[in-house]
């Protein structure tokens, strides 16, 4: 062997029959079994190897691994690759954002940050990995159910009550809340639909005012405020002049607190 060039080269070798190896070096042979994640196929696989030192003499595909072994490999690869491996659809992402908001309001709520979820994968995710083995399986993972499993019945009721998916505004419309920023959930609603609402809606046990994005009839942001009362008393009249010029057919009352909220051009229109 020549290793002077930085990379070893075998210059001369002699064949050693397997039978002779087994006869004279049987005590040096070891059996190795491994369950691992195969990146190429995106699945959990297993093999059995016969080793002579660091040399692999024989490798065979192993029978289906035990369920616990598969789960351990899946948990390990998710921890290594990150939570993006999981099927975060819009509804599941919103659920996580609402839970993050509740954690901001009450520290006794589960922490659903990336770091916390990765550190506790075995606790909240393992029960839902049964029968799964590859990337395709992971895409049918009931992720919302797994997250909800972190909450007891009372907490689930509190989540719906204190971090609702929608708020019913004075016009009667159910408007979705955006929890992308758990510090300041956003309610984007047309200004006319808030007539008659004195104060900013609050969530999180009344501790957090939503951040109102008051929209034009074309749903363009006209004002951003967490203090609706102050907006009605001051800025509204400037905004009203602008909107009345752009949308003359729409309803722009002089007294927004006494006006009838509407989702239409004018109250009573169909």
Helix (H) or strand (E) holding 243: helix 235-246
The Cα–Cα gap between 203 and 224 comes to 18
Of the candidates 162, 190, 213, which is a domain's last residue? 162
Q: Is the pLDDT of residue 64 over 80?
A: no
Query: 58: pLDDT confidence band, cut at 50, 70 and 90?
Result: low
Q: How far is CA 30 from CA 25, 35, 55, 57, in A?
A: 11, 17, 10, 10
> The domain containing residue 234 runs over which residues?
166-246
- 151, 181: one domain: no
Kindly state the tokens that stand for 270: 């169909």
Query: 255: pLDDT confidence band, cut at 50, 70 and 90?
Result: very high
Query: Residues 56, 58, 61, CA angle at the centre, nearest 5°?
Result: 115
- Residues 67-81 have pLDDT tens digits of 999 999 999 999 999
Residue 251 domain-assigned (yes or no): no
Kindly state the tokens that stand for 69: 């072994």
Number of folded domains that form the chain: 2
Of the candidates 134, 162, 190, which is a domain's last residue? 162
Predicted confidence at residue 230, as pLDDT, reads 97
- Residues 155-206 have pLDDT tens digits of 999 999 999 999 999 999 999 999 999 999 999 999 999 999 999 999 999 9
């Amino acid at each position: 062997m020549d290793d002077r060039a930085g990379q070893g080269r075998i210059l001369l070798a002699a064949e050693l029959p397997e039978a002779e190896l087994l006869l004279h070096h049987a005590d040096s042979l070891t059996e190795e079994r491994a369950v691992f994640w195969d990146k190429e196929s995106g699945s959990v696989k297993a093999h059995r190897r016969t080793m002579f030192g660091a040399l692999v003499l024989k490798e065979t595909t192993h029978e289906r691994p035990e369920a616990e072994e598969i789960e351990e490999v899946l948990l390990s690869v998710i921890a290594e690759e990150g939570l993006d491996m999981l099927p975060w659809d819009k509804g599941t992402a919103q659920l996580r954002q609402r839970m993050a908001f509740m954690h901001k309001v009450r520290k006794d709520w589960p922490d659903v940050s990336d770091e916390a979820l990765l550190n506790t994968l075995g606790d909240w995710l393992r029960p839902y990995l049964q029968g799964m083995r590859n990337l395709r399986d992971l895409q049918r993972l009931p992720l919302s159910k797994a997250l909800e499993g972190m909450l007891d019945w009372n907490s689930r009721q509190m989540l719906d009550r204190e971090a609702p998916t929608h708020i019913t505004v004075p016009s009667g419309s159910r408007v979705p809340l955006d929890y992308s920023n758990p510090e300041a959930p956003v309610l984007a609603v047309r200004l006319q639909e808030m007539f008659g609402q004195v104060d900013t809606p609050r969530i999180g046990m009344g501790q957090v005012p939503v951040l109102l994005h008051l929209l034009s009839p074309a749903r363009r942001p006209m004002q951003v405020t967490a203090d609706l009362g102050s907006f009605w008393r001051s800025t509204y009249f400037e905004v009203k002049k602008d909107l009345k010029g752009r949308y003359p057919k729409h309803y722009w009352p002089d007294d927004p607190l006494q006006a009838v909220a509407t989702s239409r051009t004018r109250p009573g229109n169909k």
